[in-house]
Structure 1
Amino acid sequence: MSLYHGSLYWPTTISDRPVYPKLDKEVSCDVLIIGAGMSGALLTYKLAKEPLDVILVDKNCVGNGSSSANTGLLQYSNDKMLHSFAESIGEKDAVRFYQLCLNGMKELKKIATSLQDDIQFIDRQSLYYASTESDIVSLQREFEILKKYNFPVEFLEEEMLYKLYGLNKHGAIRTMGDAEVNPLKLVLSLVKEASKKSNVQVFENTEVTEPQYKDGYWLFHNEDAIIRAKHVVYATGYQLDNFTMEMPTELNRTFAIITNPISSFRNWKDRCLIWETKRPYFYMRTIVDGRIIAGGLDEETIESPRDPRILQIYADRLLARIKEHFPYLQLKAEYVYGATFGESKDGIPFIGEHPNKKNLYYCLGFGGNGTVYSAFGSTIIKDLIINGNHPDADLVRLNR
């Protein structure tokens, strides 16, 4: 399955991409991480600081999977609102989950400041507006519960929303503590920094097979190499195996465009991240070079269309949505693509140890907040490997 079709923007921003060798020998390690996308990169970066021998492998190249199609909106709020989570899993666990997301945002900010490369990480506010007048009730409920638990949030009435943003909407909540990033630069920088450590090895174009457990090690064979690992972490995103295919998940497709550069955003206050209550929702943000990236039009089909003419139809729809908000902008879609993404049935990612296989873990950031999930998920996996526990591991466990 191809994870995306169309023209991607983020690879065009990379001028000096690190290259890592293919594994062609026998190696041993404390931790083997399979998948060099966002989850794998964050976990490798964190484990590089520990007294552990770490190997990161990817069957393609670092960042070549979903990270290249990631739109780089980083928010603690979720596709599923906090008050909806409270109804389905209980208020205590719902708040715990949202606090994990807020902690993930804080982790990402801390990591961004520590990296040597400019990953285009910028603090932003998010504007979450009511798509219809009837959605105001739900937004107000969301504001009240977020405020109750001290999440950084404000409510904007219709008049204030128009005054500040020039948007004719019925109301919105504004969240603070969010950000934007170039996701591919983030992944590449994380792996590059980690690979400088003597305890970390990175291999590209290295596919692993189903492992066997022998003498305290997980053993992987392929035609060129053998890997022995005490702990194994699958950070393979939407590439599911026999075990993860049984999880309550859905694979769908979404679409995104990147416009031509814009010289001025006179009504786009603080260049905030913008999204809406409608489902499937539309969202958009700006990029440092003045472009707009917008996405949505989600469909219950896995693979995106390959025909450029069909992709252009989706691009025109997304352009029209941007123009609804900012009609004065002169826009064209210079990049357009469709991508596969995954969601869990309950809205919570799958992170933790295999229920029947010791020292084998999964870090799967299913959902619209995949990068944030990867941030706190990699910490949970790190703590499970080193300490054997994490206080929130039960919330995101694989067999819930």
Structure 2
Amino acid sequence: MELHNGQLYWPTTLKNRQEDFDQKYDAVIIGGGMSGALCAYSLVQEGLNVAIIEKRTLAAGSSSANTGLLQFSNDVMLHELMDQIGEDKAVSFYSLCMEAVENLEKVAMNLPVSPDFIRRKSIYYASTSRHVPKLKKEYKTLNEHGFPVEYWSRKEMKDRLPFSKAGALITHGDAEVNPYKFVNGIFDYLKDGKQTTIFENLEATNIEEHSTGVNIQTPDGIIQATHLIHATGYETPPLNKKVGSDINRSYAIATEPIEDLSQWDDRALIWETKRPYLYLRTTVDNRIIAGGLDEDPAEAPQSEKKIEKRGKRIEKEVQKLFPDLKIKMDYAWGASFGESLDNLPYIGKHPDKDRIYYLLGYGGNGTVYSMLGANILRDLISGRPNPDAEIVKLDR
């Protein structure tokens, strides 16, 4: 639920320290969520002096509604992506996603607080028998290109789980994380003398690029940067033209803790082939987090009654998969969710600007996209060639 509405007075009485406006930063990032945090982390490793501007408070947007599934498989299957952009680029993109999960683990291990990063396999099951040929084709494609994958028949599923479907892909190398602890852990790391200045409750009202940098106008003054990165999540990106994206909303629940989850094979991440899809995972305190029921409106739902009703529907779907467990919803929420029209994120330099960049991790793999995008932008800003930038550029 929203805790307040309208224009607040008290936050305006605490101004950012004026001396922070007197220096020019190597990079300024607009957005204090997961994308902004990971981008700042990558740039700081290069020795760059970074500032982050967040118009709310850190991790107060989509990051607090993130369900924390980290997978290299995408909403678009590899064989479908190959048809879309070609075999080499598709395989490279899937490899980038797999590498990003590994990089996320390295970040997690470097933080002052544990974000509950745990390696998991994923179970991607056929929602109906009609989807089995597509799953088998995807298995063959992943296997041929060296990705860690198995295929389970209905019997093999029944041997390992309390539910069985016509077939399932099992991918290895995925993970789960507490996204809120993760993103706040990154900011704690950055605040600890890591050449990072953070401006909260400060909005960028105008941006002007010039020959040697970018001026970012705010109500408190002008912040100067050599480079600017927009990491604004699902809010409208300040582009001259709209990128191909579709912003809608989704729902999720967290159950009460469950005493025994031993029937959940390796506590794998689970999702299905139909669209919109149900997905679920467990937590370190034995809850189940599950989500789905995507719908068209872009704004997060305001009705508590509607959120509870959608949450109960998700609860029933989880109960069908695990009939012997006592599934009881404890938390329910709805949030904006964005995906691009071609199922790939938008990452890279503005088509018409030299010093302005974007990190828009649209899709179900938003955190993974943010990690791979942070590394692409690190290379571009540092002047290193990155051939993979072509796959996700804004004007593709």
**Correspondence for 1:327:** 323
**Correspondence for 1:139:** 135
**Correspondence for 1:166:** 162
Change in 2 beyond 3 A, CA 1:23/1:297: farther
2:266 is aligned, of 270, 294, 316, to 270
> What letter corresponds to residue 220 of structure 1 in structure 2?
I
> What letter corresponds to residue 349 of structure 2 in structure 1?
E
What is the SS of the residue equivalent to 2:224? strand
Taking every aligned residue pair, what percent have the same amino acid on both sides? 43
> What letter corresponds to residue 37 of structure 2 in structure 1?
A
1:311 equivalenced with 2:311 (yes/no): no
Aligned positions of 1:238-317 closer than 5 A: 238-243=234-239, 246-317=242-313
Q: Distance in 2 between the 1:110 and 1:316 partners?
A: 37
Confirm or deny: 8 A CA contact 1:194 1:200 kept in the other structure.
yes
Q: Distance in 1 between the 2:211 and 2:342 partners?
A: 37
Confirm or deny: 8 A CA contact 1:23 1:224 kept in the other structure.
no
Q: How many aligned positions are there?
A: 384
Shift of 1:263: 0.5
**Correspondence for 1:22:** 16
1:87 is aligned, of 62, 83, 88, to 83
Shift of 1:168: 2.0
Q: Distance in 2 between the 1:199 and 1:116 partners?
A: 17
Change in 2 beyond 3 A, CA 1:137/1:245: same
Q: Distance in 2 between the 1:51 and 1:332 partners?
A: 48
Shift of 1:150: 0.5
Q: What is the CA deviation profile of residues 85-128 of structure 1, one whole-angstrom value per residue up to 9, with x for unaligned ones?
A: 11122222111111111111111112112222110101101000
1:32 is aligned, of 19, 28, 31, to 28
1:71 is aligned, of 67, 79, 83, to 67
**Correspondence for 1:14:** none
What is the SS of the residue equivalent to 2:313? helix
**Correspondence for 1:187:** 183
Q: Distance in 2 between the 1:226 and 1:234 partners?
A: 17
Instruction: Using structure 2 for the length normalisation, give the TM-score.
Output: 0.94
- Note the residue ranges of structure 1 that are not aligned, 5 or more in a row: 8-19
Confirm or deny: 8 A CA contact 1:31 1:229 kept in the other structure.
yes
1:365 equivalenced with 2:361 (yes/no): yes
1:377 equivalenced with 2:373 (yes/no): yes
Q: Distance in 1 between the 2:335 and 2:240 partners?
A: 20
CA-based RMSD of the aligned residues comes to 1.6
2:43 is aligned, of 19, 43, 47, to 47
**Correspondence for 2:339:** 343
Shift of 1:24: 4.2
State which drifts further: 173-182 or 305-314.
305-314
Shift of 1:375: 0.6
Aligned positions of 1:51-62 closer than 5 A: 51-62=47-58
Q: Distance in 1 between the 2:166 and 2:343 partners?
A: 27
Shift of 1:22: 3.4
Confirm or deny: 8 A CA contact 2:37 2:186 kept in the other structure.
yes
Q: Distance in 2 between the 1:214 and 1:315 partners?
A: 49
Q: Distance in 2 between the 1:187 and 1:245 partners?
A: 30
> What letter corresponds to residue 365 of structure 2 in structure 1?
N
Shift of 1:306: 1.5
Aligned positions of 1:116-155 closer than 5 A: 116-155=112-151
State which drifts further: 376-385 or 27-36.
27-36
Q: Distance in 2 between the 1:244 and 1:283 partners?
A: 35
What is the SS of the residue equivalent to 1:383? helix
Confirm or deny: 8 A CA contact 2:125 2:169 kept in the other structure.
yes
